[in-house]
Amino acid sequence: MSEPEVRHPGSERGGRWPEIYERTLDCIHCGLCLESCPTYRETGLEISSPRGRIYLLRSIAEGRAEPGELLAHEAFLCLACRACETACPSGVEFGALIELARAEVVSTGLRRDLASRIERLVLRLLLPHPKRLHRLVGLMDLARRLGVMRLLMALAPRRLARMEALLPPIPSREDRKPLPEMNPAVGATRGRVGFLAGCVMPELFGDVNAATVRVLQRNGFEVLVPRDQGCCGALHAHAGDDAFARRLARRNVEAFGAIGVDTVLVNSAGCGAALQDVGRWLPLEGELFAASVRDVAEFLDAEGIQAPEGSVDATVCYDDPCHLVNGMGVSDAPRRLLEKIPGVRLIAHADPTSCCGAAGTYNLTHLEMSQAILARKLDSLDAADPDIVATGNPGCLMQLRAGLAERGSRARVVHPLVLLDEAYKGGASSSPSRRIL
Ligand code: SF4
Ligand code: SF4
């Protein structure tokens, strides 16, 4: 007599449900993640906690509930900050789980409102295309200079106006130029690394990219920035567009594979965490690449840096980007680097590891919740009253800058590598060589 077929719970739904089901099994319902969850803290609702969301996903996978509005709402109310992963004693990989759930919501048409469609189009048609992005940022800069932007925003819907408020000062044309493909080490060469320039970073934080490359050069590293690289796909994956994210990931695997480096450095935590996950998106071909990806502060801390000649005389609060502390497991290294800058007095604030509410496009799609979460963070920073807030992710830089400015705070918000670069400028040439391969 043949054995009866064992049906995998969740498999009857097809799609991503068998994998979602498997991943929910790690949860032992202990609730230790609840207080770390920003949406649970704001709402007090079990369904808006990690444990509640896992229960919902498992119920749907097992056929005890149907995928519908509640799933769509909770999958996107979550910030994907992964604070629950850090708190979880049972190894639940919530980031992967929520990404799968969002992809399922989108592919089955449960998220079809106009804002979501526009978001998807913008992510697909803009971020992977550097020239389009460059022109758009140039136009926005011009509109700001002419005072037209203020006029337009006064008439614009609230979310659009928020987007403008989040934009940092546009870097100079020089800083928005693509980085050279090859940036030689200053002095004796200690090693050769690849660098992910990103999509938004060159346009809105080109000065941060240039500072990062200078610091690496100054510390004896040859920095390769392959032209064929592109957007990391993190925002696409977070928006439930996993197929497009996979396409973008493949492009980076090929671009960095072609230059033959063992280490690919990233100065944007969101991109770094996404690229370290590429092995899950592209089994086999992406695994080696994913293992080569490191945060630049973690890398420099491990390799050791030259003592800066200059100083930055300031009190500094370091704020942990979610994807750096929860996604890449990096927390002490940026603090240690900052402490090596002469004049920096690192001071703690009460809430460094909670999400600031930026979370990719969350501060535009969930404006009220994002603002409530940001308010807690700003209260904590206000109480510490630093001269400088340092954080290593473009979304956090924009969110904290805008929030602190609205409160009239004196604190300057910068990337840690910019402070390190400023300290080196005390005694070194400040512009990277523009030698092209
Ligand atoms: S990822 Fe963040 S917002 Fe989502 S459930 Fe976990 S802690 Fe809560
Ligand atoms: S801490 Fe982990 S195991 Fe406990 S309820 Fe949260 S997700 Fe489940």
pLDDT in tens, 239-261: 999 999 999 999 999 999 999 99
Class of domain 314-425: alpha beta
Residue 31 Cα: closest atom of ligand 2? 5
How many other C-beta atoms lie within 10 A of the C-beta of residue 408?
6
How many other C-beta atoms lie within 10 A of the C-beta of residue 91?
8
DSSP conformational letter for 13? G
Confidence of residue 137 (pLDDT cuts 50, 70, 90): confident
Question: Does ligand 1 come within 6 angstroms of the Cβ of 37?
Answer: yes
Residue with the smallest CA separation from ligand 2 atom 4 is 30
The reported pLDDT for the residue numbered 392 is 97
* Contact (Cβ atoms closer than 8 angstroms) between residue 431 and residue 424: no
Q: How far is the CA of 370 from the centre of ligand 1 (A)?
A: 13
Q: How far is the CA of 91 from the centre of ligand 2 (A)?
A: 8
DSSP conformational letter for 8? P
Those residues with Cβ within 8 angstroms of residue 131's Cβ, 6 or more apart along the chain or in another chain? none
Q: Which ligand ends up closest to the CA of 323? A: 1
Pocket test for ligand 1, best of 71, 79, 97, 322 (most atoms within 8 A of CB): 79
Pocket test for ligand 2, best of 90, 94, 98 (most atoms within 8 A of CB): 90
Q: How far is the CA of 412 from the centre of ligand 2 (A)?
A: 37
Nearest-Å Rg of the Cα atoms of the chain is: 22
* SS3 assignment, position 192: strand
Residue with the smallest CA separation from ligand 1 atom 2 is 81
Average pLDDT over residues 144-156: 74
- The string of DSSP letters for 217-260 reads HHTTEEEE--TT-----HHHHHTT-HHHHHHHHHHHHHHHHHHT
Residue 220 has pLDDT above 80, yes or no: yes
Structural element, H or E, at residue 194: strand 191-195
* Contact (Cβ atoms closer than 8 angstroms) between residue 347 and residue 317: yes
- What length is written for the chain? 437
Residue with the smallest CA separation from ligand 1 atom 8 is 37
Tell me if 173-303 shares its fold with 314-425.
yes
- The string of DSSP letters for 338-387 reads HHTSTTEEE---S-TTS--S-TTTHHHHTHHHHHHHHHHHHHHHHHH--S
* Contact (Cβ atoms closer than 8 angstroms) between residue 273 and residue 235: no
**CATH of 173-303 given 1.10.510.10, 3.40.50.1860, 3.30.70.2860, 3.40.1360.10:** 3.40.50.1860
How many other C-beta atoms lie within 10 A of the C-beta of residue 286?
20
- The string of DSSP letters for 27-63 reads -----TTGGG-HHHHHH--GGGSHHHHHHHHHHHHTT
Closest CA to 314 of 274, 284, 278, 344: 344
Q: Which ligand ends up closest to the CA of 81? A: 1
Question: Does ligand 1 come within 6 angstroms of the Cβ of 81?
Answer: yes
DSSP conformational letter for 324? I
Q: How far is the CA of 41 from the centre of ligand 1 (A)?
A: 10
Q: What CA–CA distance (Å, rounded) separates 352 from 330?
A: 13
Residue 138: both structure tokens together: 């140039």
Confidence of residue 429 (pLDDT cuts 50, 70, 90): very low
Question: Does ligand 1 come within 6 angstroms of the Cβ of 84?
Answer: yes
Q: How far is the CA of 35 from the centre of ligand 1 (A)?
A: 10
Q: How far is the CA of 267 from the centre of ligand 2 (A)?
A: 30
* Contact (Cβ atoms closer than 8 angstroms) between residue 404 and residue 389: yes
Question: Does ligand 1 come within 6 angstroms of the Cβ of 322?
Answer: no
Q: How far is the CA of 30 from the centre of ligand 2 (A)?
A: 5
What phi, psi does 74 have (nearest 5°)?
Answer: -70, -35
Confidence of residue 415 (pLDDT cuts 50, 70, 90): very high
Q: What CA–CA distance (Å, rounded) separates 129 from 113?
A: 25
Residue 435 has pLDDT above 50, yes or no: no
Average pLDDT over residues 121-129: 89
Question: Does ligand 1 come within 6 angstroms of the Cβ of 38?
Answer: yes
Question: Does ligand 1 come within 6 angstroms of the Cβ of 82?
Answer: yes
Tens of pLDDT, residues 11-45: 678 899 999 999 999 999 999 999 999 999 999 99
Q: How far is the CA of 77 from the centre of ligand 1 (A)?
A: 9
Tens of pLDDT, residues 316-365: 999 999 999 999 999 999 999 999 999 999 999 999 999 999 998 898 88
- The string of DSSP letters for 62-73 reads TTSS--SHHHHH
Average pLDDT over residues 155-173: 77
Average pLDDT over residues 420-428: 82
| Domain ranges (residues) in the chain | 11-107, 114-166, 173-303, 314-425
What phi, psi does 5 have (nearest 5°)?
Answer: -65, 130
Residue 76 has pLDDT above 60, yes or no: yes
Question: Does ligand 1 come within 6 angstroms of the Cβ of 79?
Answer: yes
* SS3 assignment, position 182: strand
Residue 428 has pLDDT above 60, yes or no: no
Tens of pLDDT, residues 180-210: 999 999 999 999 999 999 998 999 999 999 9
Residue with the smallest CA separation from ligand 2 atom 8 is 27
The reported pLDDT for the residue numbered 143 is 83
The reported pLDDT for the residue numbered 122 is 86
Q: How far is the CA of 88 from the centre of ligand 2 (A)?
A: 5
* Contact (Cβ atoms closer than 8 angstroms) between residue 299 and residue 59: no
The reported pLDDT for the residue numbered 8 is 61
Confidence of residue 120 (pLDDT cuts 50, 70, 90): confident
Q: What CA–CA distance (Å, rounded) separates 367 from 162?
A: 8
Q: Which long-range CB contacts under 8 A does 103-107 form with residues at least 24 apart?
A: 103/16, 103/237, 103/240, 103/241, 103/242, 104/15, 104/16, 104/17, 104/20, 104/67, 104/240, 105/67, 105/71, 105/72, 105/75, 105/76, 105/240, 106/239, 106/240, 106/241, 107/15, 107/240
Confidence of residue 156 (pLDDT cuts 50, 70, 90): low
Residue 77 Cα: closest atom of ligand 1? 3
The answer for 357, left when phi > 0, alpha when psi is -120 to 50, beta otherwise, is: left
Confidence of residue 168 (pLDDT cuts 50, 70, 90): confident
Confidence of residue 303 (pLDDT cuts 50, 70, 90): very high
Structural element, H or E, at residue 281: helix 278-281
Among 101-115, 159-173, 218-232, name the one with the lowest average pLDDT: 159-173
Closest CA to 170 of 135, 143, 203, 198: 203
**CATH of 11-107 given 1.10.3720.10, 3.20.20.70, 1.10.1060.10, 3.40.47.10:** 1.10.1060.10
